[in-house]
Chain A
Amino acid sequence: MAPETNVPALEVHDLTVAFDRKPVLWNIDLVIPQGKIVGIVGPNGAGKSTLIKSIMGLLPLSSGYTKLFDQSLNDVRNKISYVPQRESVDWDFPASVMDVVLMGRYSRLGLFKRPRKADRDVALDCLRKVGMEAFANRQISQLSGGQQQRTFLARALAQQADVYFMDEPFAGVDAATEKTIITLLRTMAQSGKTVIVVHHDLQSVTNYFDWVIMLNTRLIASGPTAETFTQENLQETYGGKLTLLADVGDLIRRENFPQREKRI
């Protein structure tokens, strides 16, 4: 059952997270409406991954609280999905692509129950959406970086959730995968899903995201990309480093350098 559309997908209030008394996130307050593709940007160590992990309850909060669809996290667990960073798991694990995608069905199955035909059908359908149906029985150790990322995405899709948190899904993937992912995100947003993405390639922000969260331990800004992703806010988020970044950006545009390493 889809939640009411006027309820915000996510609310974060006074969120502070600290490791060893050193704050990683400080007093974050934000509200995200439903059906948006949201980018979280900020320099390294700004707390981008920490933010999504603490919203999902993977890290202890020092203060503050979060709400999803106006309910507490534990009441809406099954509406939340997560795409961790690709490097966070061991890809030499003895499992097939299908095994991994089926994990997306586990939360619906509950204890003691095994995935059934219907679950396999959903998993296959999700693999089709990311263009990986031919790889269902492939060993995960034989996948390329882009294919690993698509597998993770298919697993999240198989969960049929309403909010998706993704940790750098565009990092180190080939151009074709990047295109598949962004097309998929747009389709998801159109059907009312909310997708929150940790991102660090500033060049593509305006193109990819409807909404942007700019973070550097504190929240600098959160709002529709057109109004929020401004030179001023960028300056404040990246501090002195941005002048350098802006220079590099100009240089790239002028010289038409490839923006990232493209592996195909």
Chain B
Amino acid sequence: MNDFYIILTASLVASSCALLGCFLILRRMAMVGDAISHAVLPGIVLAFLFSGSRDSVTMLIGAGLIGVFTTFLIEFFHKKARLQTDAAIGVTFTWLFAVGVVLISIFAGKVDLDQDCVLYGEIAYVPLDVIISPAGANLGPKAIYVMGFVLTVIIIFIVTGYKELFLTTFDPAYASAIGISTSLWHYLLMSAVSVTTVSSFESVGAILVVALLIAPAATAYLLTDNFKWMLALACTAGVLASLTGYYFAVWLDGSIAGAIAAMSGIIFGLAMVFSPTHGLFFKKLRQVAH
């Protein structure tokens, strides 16, 4: 049963990340996802200090705000200080991340947060943190409820805003011309990324979540030319990475989160070589056939 809980949690995390990752890579904002996942650290710590609990809702709000603040700072440095986007990202997220590290070390005594846990996550402990009903029945791990909720919210967000997200990603200038606010959808998407990152940090860690944000989406990008299929394939790739990653870790007796991220990289590599449309293997085959 524990195996199942761990794989389910990882799959939920991977699917949420994969869906958002598709938009991020098509907007050429993969590194913004990276930045947010690091920069939410001070948000997590501050939310904890203010509320005094590791209650997920407070953390989500705290980190969500910091995530949006991060994208705002990046835009600000880019537009007002005329800094290149990548430099703006580099300055912003390392700085916020560092603030988070300092905060954790200062309040280490009071804060029930462990740097290793925040950075690398510990998905193996997921089955231990269960919800017990008032009657005393075991309702299953808390992480599954949290991630299930987050995934549902993201699916609702993408389904209802599909047209707007699709258009603002493909052609922002046209979107503004016909009266669709590009900045509104930009910030909504970034909030979704922040919330996902934060809710995932307990299980896969703040750093490895980046792998799940980008690798499955990049894999799907190589496999299809249809955006809806890309979303579906990205989720599939994420779930596949979770499943194989878990057994890989068990076999190695190593870090589960690390193995999952490693597997998502390997799946990307396979897509790179064997994709029917973009793959190196079939390209070579077609060249030889000619």
Chain A residues close to B by CB (< 8 Å): 53, 56-58, 74, 77-78, 80-82, 84, 88-90, 93-96, 99-100, 103, 106-107, 109, 111-112, 114-115, 139, 141, 155, 159, 165
How many residues of chain B have a CB within 8 Å of chain A? 25
Return 15 A-B CB contacts under 8 Å, by A number.
A80-B178, A81-B178, A84-B174, A89-B170, A89-B171, A93-B227, A94-B224, A95-B226, A95-B227, A103-B174, A106-B163, A107-B178, A107-B179, A109-B163, A114-B162
In the bound complex, what is the Cα–Cα distance between A114 and B161 (angstroms)?
Answer: 10
Q: When the two chains form the complex, which single residue of A53, A81, A103, A139 contacts B167, counting CB atoms closer than 8 Å?
A: A103
DSSP class of A's interface residues: helix, strand, loop or mixed? mixed
Chain B residues close to A by CB (< 8 Å): 26, 160-164, 166-167, 169-171, 173-174, 176-180, 221, 224-227, 229-230
Q: A82 to chain B: which residues have CB within 8 Å?
A: 173-174, 177-178
In the bound complex, what is the Cα–Cα distance between A100 and B177 (angstroms)?
Answer: 15
A94 touches B221 (CB 8 A): yes
A95 touches B170 (CB 8 A): yes
A111 touches B171 (CB 8 A): no
Q: When the two chains form the complex, which single residue of B160, B180, B227 contacts A94, counting CB atoms closer than 8 Å?
A: B227
A78 touches B160 (CB 8 A): no
Q: When the two chains form the complex, which single residue of A56, A94, A114, A115 contacts B177, counting CB atoms closer than 8 Å?
A: A56
A107 touches B226 (CB 8 A): no
Distance to closest chain A CB from B282 (angstroms): 16
B171 touches A94 (CB 8 A): no
Q: B26 to chain A: which residues have CB within 8 Å?
A: 90, 93-94
Q: A114 to chain B: which residues have CB within 8 Å?
A: 162-163
A80 touches B177 (CB 8 A): yes
Q: B167 to chain A: which residues have CB within 8 Å?
A: 103, 106
In the bound complex, what is the Cα–Cα distance between A193 and B161 (angstroms)?
Answer: 31
B226 touches A94 (CB 8 A): yes
With A82-B173, A109-B163, A111-B160 known as contacts, the answer to whether A159 contacts B226 (CB < 8 A) is no
Q: A96 to chain B: which residues have CB within 8 Å?
A: 225-226
